[in-house]
């Protein structure tokens, strides 16, 4: 990963954490003062390196553990809610950003207080970790 790719990746995370839902090359180019073509190329390289996943329109679909689309999984701290790719990622967002509530569409709601998850439970992953990027959207 070169310096430009590092800067773009860091800006993706800054924007998502700040509450942006749709991050694309145009937004990143404007934020960083770069040419759109340079940003598009860097995003493609970041995706090829499995550092993020892009939607068909080139916007950021996944910047793990954050999702660029509503999957039904989320993490909430105060009034701020972030979409996640799965229950595991919702808990990861809370591990990164602080105590809050993680939810998933067909399962429990977990509260994280002082880093402790309640209630006890488990997250079932259908795909072994070594195969996550075979189809990261399904995983």
Q: Is CATH 1.10.10.10 the right assignment for the domain spanning 3-63?
A: yes
Q: What are the residue ranges spanned by the domains of the chain?
A: 3-63, 73-134
Beta strands in 30-138 (DSSP E): 53-54, 60-63, 66-67, 73-77, 80-84, 100-103, 109-113, 116-118
Closest by CA position to 5, among listed 85, 55, 137, 25: 25
- 123 and 84 in contact (C-beta within 8 Å)? no
- Kindly tell me the sign of the dihedral angle through the C-alpha atoms of 72, 76, 82, 86: negative
- Is the backbone peptide bond immediately before 119 cis, with ω within 30 degrees of 0? yes
Cα–Cα distance for residue pair 18/1, rounded to 1 Å: 24
pLDDT tens-place values along the chain, 139 residues long? 899 999 999 999 999 999 999 999 999 999 999 999 999 999 999 999 999 999 999 999 999 999 999 999 999 999 999 999 888 899 999 999 999 999 988 777 888 888 888 877 666 667 777 877 676 666 6
């Amino acid at each position: 990963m070169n310096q430009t790719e590092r800067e773009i990746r860091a800006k993706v995370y800054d924007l998502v954490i700040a509450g942006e839902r749709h991050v694309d090359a145009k937004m990143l180019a404007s934020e960083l003062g770069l040419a759109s073509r340079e940003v598009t190329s860097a995003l493609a390289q970041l995706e090829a390196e499995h550092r993020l996943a892009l939607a068909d329109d080139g916007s950021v679909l996944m910047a793990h553990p954050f999702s660029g689309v509503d999957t039904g999984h989320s993490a909430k701290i105060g009034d701020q809610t972030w979409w996640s790719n799965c229950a595991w990622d919702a808990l990861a967002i809370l591990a990164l950003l602080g105590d809050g509530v993680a939810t998933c569409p067909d399962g429990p709601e977990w509260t994280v207080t002082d880093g402790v998850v309640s209630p006890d439970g488990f997250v079932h992953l259908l795909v072994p970790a070594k195969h996550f990027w075979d189809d990261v959207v399904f995983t």
